[in-house]
Structure 1
Amino acid sequence: MAYGLRFKTARDLFMACPAIARDMRTPPTEQRSIEFCRDLLAGRVPEEAITFCAYLLPERAAVWWAHECLSHLTDLFDQTDHELLALVRDWVSEPDSPRHRADVSAAAATPPTTPVGWIVLAAAWRDNSSAMASTTALQPFPAAHAVNAGILAGLARVALADRFSVLSAFVEMGIQMAEIEAQHQSADAY
């Protein structure tokens, strides 16, 4: 199923999204994207596997992945973050809904100060990249950057003893989503 990924190799992703090099230091290889991601997880800076997944996934899928990751950390968030997670959930299920778009846009109007705030910002940037262009001029692929920031900020709240197992679970979830996306792309090609 990896043949259907939108970026077959790590180098393909880095070539298409040069902004990823600002968020991670490991150089790309000719490895298939999923293998590269798993090697990142097993490497010196396993957090880079989160970054790689954030850029590997299509934007809407990346926002959903981030929502799912942060939904596992809800005991670390306040009521406002719970409401924002629900907002993101609703937006992902109906991204073309004018109400959801307006709600996400309004929530994203304030700078992100929490992990969930970054995910809301990612949804807003994905949803209306032309309107957000002035705020993202220095960061190409802003939704991926915001997804990465949100998940890593959430991960930073996890107890140190549990952090690697949570990180691993998040990466595996991202890999599964990438494989599902690849299957959908392959099915659409027929």
Structure 2
Amino acid sequence: MDLPEPFRSEDEMSDKTQPPIRFLRFDTPAELYGAEPYLTRMTQLRPGAEETGLNFLLRLRGSTTPEEAVIYTAFAAVPHLVVWWAYECLRRTLPEPTAPDRAILALVADWTRSSDATNRWRVMQSALFAPVRSPAVYLGLAVGWSGGAIAPNDPAPVPSHRMPQAINAAILSAVAMQDLRDRPILLAKIIDEAARLFAAH
């Protein structure tokens, strides 16, 4: 899976100059854990003071609960890239999505190419009115909670843990739909793809 072409967030699109592309929200996992107390309740392991993001990810992958590597990535990567990563994971994990899920995934793909508020609201509306909370619907909710107002007339801020939680639910619920024997291999592949985000930092 190749890293995507750079694309800009809604805030960046308002600037005339393009800032450097960031892959991770913080320089170290220790900084991330300091800023996101919710994350400390979701993982057993803790990063060392000078540990790199990639090293910590690999340590999580080798632990007795490698699923924690997914939630760590969901918190660590910038919203646009973590949505792209989750989208690619679902595209490979759900070979035959339902028609409603295909529609939501298409809207998510549109948002990764043009991450303006209109596209984000379109994804959020589709996810909110979906009859079943499928992996694709969780990913749609993640897009809606990725930053900015969740609706044109609703300026209330979204808690920072909502988007990573939805990313985590999207990926792990997709893995859980697969044959029990295939899940460890599939999870390992997903984490290997996540490692590319940290290696590029």
What's the TM-score once normalised by structure 2's chain length? Answer: 0.77
Looking at secondary structure, tell me which structure has more helix per residue.
1
SS of match in other structure, 1:28: coil
Q: Does 1:39 align with 2:56?
A: no
Matched letter for residue 120 of structure 1:
G
CA shift at 1:27, angstroms? 2.6
Q: Does 1:8 align with 2:11?
A: no
Indicate if the aligned counterparts of 1:9 and 1:29 stay in contact, CA closer than 8 A: no
Unmatched runs of 5 consecutive residues or more in structure 1? 183-190
Unmatched runs of 5 consecutive residues or more in structure 2? 1-22
Matched letter for residue 39 of structure 1:
R
SS of match in other structure, 1:171: helix
Out of 120, 140, 153, the residue aligned to residue 101 of structure 1 is 120
Matched letter for residue 70 of structure 2:
I
- For residue 113 of structure 1, what is the aligned residue in structure 2? 133
Q: 1:145 to 1:115 in 2, by over 3 A?
A: same
Render the CA deviation track for 1:136-158: whole Å, top value 9, x for unaligned: 5xx53311121111111111112
CA shift at 1:164, angstroms? 1.3
Indicate if the aligned counterparts of 2:24 and 2:78 stay in contact, CA closer than 8 A: no
Render the CA deviation track for 1:134-189: whole Å, top value 9, x for unaligned: 695xx533111211111111111121111111111111111212333x2xxxxxxx
- For residue 187 of structure 2, what is the aligned residue in structure 1? 167
Instruction: Tell me the matched-pair count.
Output: 175
Q: Aligned-pair RMSD on alpha carbons?
A: 2.4
Indicate if the aligned counterparts of 1:95 and 1:127 stay in contact, CA closer than 8 A: no
| Aligned counterparts of 1:129 and 1:150: Cα–Cα separation in 2 | 22
Identity %: 28
- For residue 72 of structure 1, what is the aligned residue in structure 2? 92
| Aligned counterparts of 1:56 and 1:118: Cα–Cα separation in 2 | 18
Q: 1:162 to 1:126 in 2, by over 3 A?
A: same
SS of match in other structure, 2:26: coil
CA shift at 1:75, angstroms? 2.5
Matched letter for residue 160 of structure 2:
P
Higher relative contact order (CA 8 A, sep 6+): 1
Q: 1:130 to 1:104 in 2, by over 3 A?
A: closer
* Equivalence map 1:51-62=2 (5 Å): 51-62=71-82
Indicate if the aligned counterparts of 1:7 and 1:33 stay in contact, CA closer than 8 A: no
Render the CA deviation track for 1:35-56: whole Å, top value 9, x for unaligned: 0111111111010011111111
